Amino acid sequence: MKIHSQAVHAGDRKKAGQHIPIATPIYTATSFFYDSMEKLDRVFGQEEPGFAYSRYENPTAAALEELMCELEQGHTALACASGMAAIHMAVMTALADRRKSVVAANAMYGATVSLLMNILEPAGIQVRFADICDLDTLRAAVKDTQPGCILIETISNPLLRVGAIDRIAEIAREAGAALVVDNTFGTPLIARPLELGAHFAVHSVTKYLAGHGDVLGGVVVTDEGHGQSLRALSRTLGPVLGPFEAYLTMRGIKTFPLRMERQCANACRVASWLAQHPKVERVYFPGDAAHPDSATIRRLFPQNLCGGVVSFEIRGAGREEVFRLMDSLKMIVRATSVGDVHTMMLYPVMSSHREISPKHRERMGIRDNLVRLSAGIEAPEDIIADLEQALG
């Protein structure tokens, strides 16, 4: 099936007694019992499928996990309480039987950088950052550190760089490392990291998959070799997504390909318009023919699907000028997320990369005049009109 059909049908219509619900129900039960202790014992021991305790597995979350396995073409999935919980689970699973060392992309989401530097590194895990868009530089970093895990984003946040996942996967396998790819900005419509050789694909389902600004959650999808370790770690740590959030995520995913196609088209329109505006110094967008990773983008991404995010620098602006611009917006929502049906604008220095030191932000290329726009599904003319009146 094509992804549009998978999104609608996968995971649903499990038999429940004498009937089959067409939409997966919300199972709020924490515990489950059976007619005999022998059967409960087998379920607890994972000798046969079933549900015993919702920290281990829940029917609503399991349906979402089945759906995500279908979308990402993976073997095992774990629905988590947030995207950061999913990143943490993926990295810890990757390192479970490998050297406790990570090579990460040098431009990533701020909270991911904080996880690496403020949580994992003090716990004894070596962390090194490298330019994953320069394969020679990445190879040198991997050779030097011999990492157990390489961590990248399909489309980096917020400067929208795109690494060659398939070639990075080759480097990882040669080094015996697991490749973890945060596919939140890419989504399975644009890229399926596991098909390109990655071991883990991670999503903040808060963003494009749920897509309506009403769910906080994450998902890890992995290959067969890491599935058992992922589930075992989860049974102990319990980072699981609640059943109501799992239900909302499944409902959102049914329309995600349609929304994403519109968001990609709107982002392309907005990026082209911004590039001509005299008050805009620079536009970052993967669909730009002059993008530094354009060859990789053309090779790996479907035609006309380059993501729904546009970042741009306002000429001569600092914090005060950026705030003034954002306060002038009338339709575009000033909020800290991406992927919703409504267009949103964020100031990375204040939000997504707030915890990163100014010097580190500068090394990452995140300047004080940079804003990030997530295109929604509105009429593109209305998005552009709001930007035009705000820029003045």
Q: Which active-site residues does the annotation give?
A: 55, 109, 182, 207
Q: Fill in the DSSP letter of residue 238.
A: -
- Residue 55, both tokens: 């920290």
- CA-to-CA distance for 8 and 32, rounded, in angstroms? 28
Pick from 212, 216, 302: nearest CA to 261: 302
One-letter identity of residue 4: H
One-letter identity of residue 373: L
Give the contacts of 272 (CB within 8 A, at least 6 positions apart).
none
Handedness of CA 252, 258, 263, 266 (dihedral sign): negative
Give the contacts of 37 (CB within 8 A, at least 6 positions apart).
none
Specify the DSSP element, H or E, that contains 104.
Answer: strand 101-105
- Residue 133, both tokens: 């868009």
Pick from 220, 214, 202, 221: nearest CA to 247: 214
Specify the DSSP element, H or E, that contains 77.
Answer: strand 76-80
Residue 237 backbone dihedrals phi, psi, to 5 degrees:
-80, -30
Helix, strand or coil, per DSSP, at residue 166: helix
For 300-347, give the DSSP string.
HSPTT---SEEEEEETT--HHHHHHHHHT-SSSEE-S----SS-EEE-
Q: Are 207 and 309 in contact (CB under 8 A)?
A: no
Q: Are 86 and 198 in contact (CB under 8 A)?
A: no
DSSP strand pairing (333-334 vs 344-346): parallel
Q: Are 155 and 162 in contact (CB under 8 A)?
A: yes
Give the contacts of 122 (CB within 8 A, at least 6 positions apart).
none
